[in-house]
Homo-oligomer: A and B are copies of this chain.
Amino acid sequence: MVDFKLHVLGCGSALPTTRHFATSQIISLRDKLYMIDCGEGTQIQMRRMRIRFSRLNHIFISHLHGDHCFGLPGLISTFGMLGRRGDLFIHGPKETEDYLQPILSRFCKGLPFEVRFNPIDTYRHALIMEDRSLNVYSIPLKHRLPACGFLFEEKATEAHLIREMADFYQIPVRLLQGIKQGDDYITPEGERIPHARLTRPSEPPKRYAYCSDTSFSPSIVPLIKGVDLLYHEATFSEADAARARETAHSTAAQAAEIARQAAVKKLIIGHFSSRYEDEQLLKLEADKIFPGTILAGEGLVVTV
């Protein structure tokens, strides 16, 4: 049973409110955590949600607006005080290092770990990170400065061995791992027992796409086709569509239209403007196009 979850730390936009923190999310998959964006207050939200600091090794920054990255200095300082050892990887537009390095040099002298920067070309759809559990791809977005979303694609897990079949054929233990990974079994008599008879298929790999901040951009649809969960920004309501265009943001209906065109399984919307006291209005507008849209909220955990 694989555990691939989205944890929403903050889903407000640039102006702080009493309802929302600035943008940050954590993806948990198996024993690892991955952060997307790190607005002011992110480390405070991690504490509140009791998310373990030590399991986080990768941070993905979508673009260099303050509400997506002003939490990095405090978070990294805290990692230092907690005695973290492993390298911390920060994936983001190439200017991310120019922003952060002088602050680290001034405030975080002698960190017990390395901060490694992976500059992303935000205009390309490309593999930007890979580990045992997943691949992460960039998704070019349209905003007021270089910006990209992220596609988290789980790697296929091994098939489940059918114990009774393994016993029946008396398969040697040393061959079991290969069979789980796709081998057929050849009996001592030379009979080929196909992999599919010996195993049950694993869960299909899941995919999560994060798209914020962006104006309405149907060019991303092929890149996120059929994902299990899409987070798409929905800063404004239809009544403020002109403001969305001016500021290169999306309306709730536009977020839902992207989800519909990409035939995603679930849509969650966020990055709410501070002007809405109640975001149910945004959900209603999205639901008309993509029924069952989920409203993001601080502390919300969604299974991918």
13 further A-B pairs in the complex, CB-CB below 8 A; given A16-B74, A99-B106: A15-B78, A15-B81, A16-B44, A40-B40, A40-B44, A40-B73, A40-B74, A64-B106, A65-B107, A66-B77, A70-B70, A95-B106, A98-B106
A78 and B40 alpha carbons, distance in the complex (Å): 12
Chain B nearest CB, measured from A20 CB (Å): 10
Does A297 count as interface, using CB distance less than 8 angstroms? Answer: no
Chain B residue contacts of A77, Cβ below 8 A? 14, 66-67, 70
- Residue contact B107 to A64, C-beta cutoff 8 Å: yes
29 A-B contacts (beta carbon < 8 Å): A14-B77, A14-B81, A15-B78, A15-B81, A16-B78, A17-B47, A18-B47, A18-B48, A21-B44, A22-B74, A40-B40, A40-B41, A40-B71, A40-B73, A40-B74, A64-B107, A65-B107, A66-B73, A66-B74, A66-B77, A66-B107, A67-B74, A67-B77, A70-B70, A70-B73, A70-B74, A98-B106, A99-B103, A103-B103
Residue on B nearest A43 in the bound complex, by CB: B16
- A interface residue numbers (CB < 8 A to B): 14-18, 21-22, 40-41, 43-44, 47-48, 64-67, 70-71, 73-74, 77-78, 81-82, 95, 98-99, 102-103, 106-107
The 9 closest A-B pairs by CB, nearest first: A40-B74, A66-B77, A66-B107, A70-B74, A41-B41, A16-B43, A16-B44, A18-B47, A16-B47
A14 and B44 alpha carbons, distance in the complex (Å): 12
A126 and B1 alpha carbons, distance in the complex (Å): 66
Chain B nearest CB, measured from A103 CB (Å): 7
Residue on B nearest A108 in the bound complex, by CB: B66
Within 8 Å by CB of A43, from B40, B44, B95, B99, lies B40
Chain B residue contacts of A106, Cβ below 8 A? 64, 95, 98-99
A102 and B47 alpha carbons, distance in the complex (Å): 30
Chain B residue contacts of A73, Cβ below 8 A? 40, 66, 70
A44 and B82 alpha carbons, distance in the complex (Å): 25
A300 and B7 alpha carbons, distance in the complex (Å): 31
Residue on B nearest A76 in the bound complex, by CB: B66
Chain B residue contacts of A71, Cβ below 8 A? 40
Chain B residue contacts of A16, Cβ below 8 A? 43-44, 47, 74, 78
A99 and B205 alpha carbons, distance in the complex (Å): 45
Residue on B nearest A98 in the bound complex, by CB: B106
Chain B nearest CB, measured from A260 CB (Å): 32
Residue on B nearest A102 in the bound complex, by CB: B102
A65 and B67 alpha carbons, distance in the complex (Å): 21
Residue on B nearest A21 in the bound complex, by CB: B44
Chain B residue contacts of A14, Cβ below 8 A? 77-78, 81
Chain B residue contacts of A43, Cβ below 8 A? 16, 40
A146 and B21 alpha carbons, distance in the complex (Å): 32
Chain B nearest CB, measured from A61 CB (Å): 13
A65 and B98 alpha carbons, distance in the complex (Å): 20
